[in-house]
Amino acid sequence: MDVLEPYMQEPMEVFHFNRAIVDTNYKLWHDTNSEFYHDFVHYFNRITGMMQPGYFERKYTAFPNGHASVGSMSIQYDKYAGSKERAVGWPGLTPGGWYMVDLFPGMTYNLRTSVLRIDTAIPLGPNKVAIEFRGLGLKSDTPEQRAERVFDHNTIWGPFGRNLHEDLLAVHGQGRAMREGTDSRWVIHGREENSTIHDEVGMRHFYAEWSKRMGRASYDPLGAAA
Amino acid sequence: MEQRQQIEELVYRSCLALDDRDFKGFLDLCDAGFRYKVTAYSPEIRKELVWLDHDKKGMETLFTNLPRHNSDHAPLTRHATVYTVKVDGAQAEVVSALQVFRTALDGGATELFAVARLVDTVKLDGDAPKLAGRLVKIGTRQLGFGSHIPF
């Protein structure tokens, strides 16, 4: 959390909460928060991030115990029709900045320009997860500043947001595809690109920790190869 | 047609247009100053939440951007019942109950997706009643993977 410490000096306030129950494994949600090649799913991220300078230089940093962070870039929010440059920012954060911290095994702190989103994944079964979403602003917000943060949040997040629906739909589909009786139940985390944004080091790091704690290899969890 | 009947029909036609993804048809029912808002109360944080808040232009953009996004295409069916119509001069406040059903494309099973209350402001000073505002006070806070198309 040291990465976020400079940005968490002011008192904050939760202004958004919702819970989604999805038929998928909790690790697939953490995967969504840990890799960025799924940005191809998000038109919003493609147009405001992927096509802008600095995107492919964003770096993953792995920390002990399975945690990881993703470096920042400057998102061009006005590139999306109906969106605009963020009217409010976050103390200490570069305009358009975006940091993410993934805590093993299922929490994510996502500080995206004007809003801090915190995800908490609660496994309910092998193929069912409850995810709690919280959106935070600053306790010192004026009503106008808070309204801007809520607007920014709802554009991409929340039950009607452009990105969250796409993410949840994706992991729902993964859950269906990997259900028992299907042909293939594997996820390949094979991209190695110097720990830059489409490298899958984040989840390789996660599964190394998972294997250590579970006492079994993630690539052979049932010991079938033994 | 009686004024009350015209107002009720406006609410029902707005639901039909959204069910049919006739977004232009929906917006044609709305006044130029239309405002659309979805709210929910969260006991978890003891706060009134705003989940969407758009003017007419914002709604139009939301709709026109839809083909660029990856959305669930399961049809939504809105079932509204107009409870009360309170006319005050050139406008009316209309309160309706709303149930939204979702029918899965794979298999065709229908499930209740959400319940809400619609609080519509209807302008009555034109040729036909127009929606000047729609507040969707949503009761259902657990919406699975959510929706790109509002209620």
**What residues in A contact B144, CB-CB < 8 Å?**
20-22, 168, 172
Residue contact B147–A159, C-beta within 8 A: yes
Distance CA A149, CA A167 (A): 21
Q: What is the ipTM of this complex?
A: 0.94
Each residue's pLDDT tens digit in chain A (226 positions)? 888 999 999 999 999 999 999 999 999 999 999 988 889 999 999 999 888 888 898 899 999 999 999 888 888 888 888 877 788 999 999 888 889 999 999 999 999 999 999 999 999 999 999 999 999 999 999 999 999 999 999 999 999 999 999 999 999 999 989 888 887 778 888 999 999 999 999 999 999 999 999 999 999 988 887 6
Triad A28, A109, A45: Cα angle to 5°:
70
Residue contact B146–A15, C-beta within 8 A: no
Nearest CA in chain A to B71: A166
Helices of type H across chain B: 3-19, 23-28, 56-65
Residue contact A158–B71, C-beta within 8 A: no
Distance CA A47, CA A39 (A): 10
Burial (CB count within 10 angstroms: exposed 0-12, middle 13-18, buried 19+), residue A96: buried
The answer to whether A111 touches A118, Cβ cutoff 8 Å, is no
Residue contact A81–B65, C-beta within 8 A: yes
Give the mean model confidence (pLDDT) for residues B107-112.
97
Does the global pTM surpass 0.90? yes
Model confidence band, residue B96 (pLDDT cutoffs 50, 70, 90): very high
Distance CA B127, CA B134 (A): 20
**What residues in B contact A16, CB-CB < 8 Å?**
49
Distance CA A164, CA A131 (A): 12
Taking the CA atoms of residue A87, residue A157, residue B117 and residue B29 in that order, the dihedral angle to the nearest 10 degrees is 70
Nearest to B146 among A43, A44, A168 (CB): A168
Distance CA B21, CA B147 (A): 13
pLDDT number for residue A179: 85
Residue contact A170–B71, C-beta within 8 A: no
Average pLDDT score, chain B: 97
pLDDT number for residue B1: 67
Structure tokens belonging to residue A3: 């990465």
pLDDT number for residue B95: 98
pLDDT number for residue B133: 98
pLDDT number for residue A95: 86
**What residues in B contact A175, CB-CB < 8 Å?**
none
CA neighbor of B33 nearest in space, from B116, B118, B117, B134: B134
Q: Is the pLDDT of residue B101 over 90?
A: yes
pLDDT number for residue A226: 62
**What residues in B contact A81, CB-CB < 8 Å?**
61, 64-65
Residue contact B42–A161, C-beta within 8 A: no
Model confidence band, residue B121 (pLDDT cutoffs 50, 70, 90): very high
Taking the CA atoms of residue A8, residue A9, residue A13 and residue A17 in that order, the dihedral angle to the nearest 10 degrees is 10
Partner A contacted by B62 (CB < 8 A):
yes
pLDDT number for residue A35: 85
Nearest to B69 among A19, A21, A166 (CB): A166
The separation between CA B148 and the C-alpha centre of its own chain, rounded to angstroms, equals 13
Residue contact B146–A20, C-beta within 8 A: yes
pLDDT number for residue B49: 97
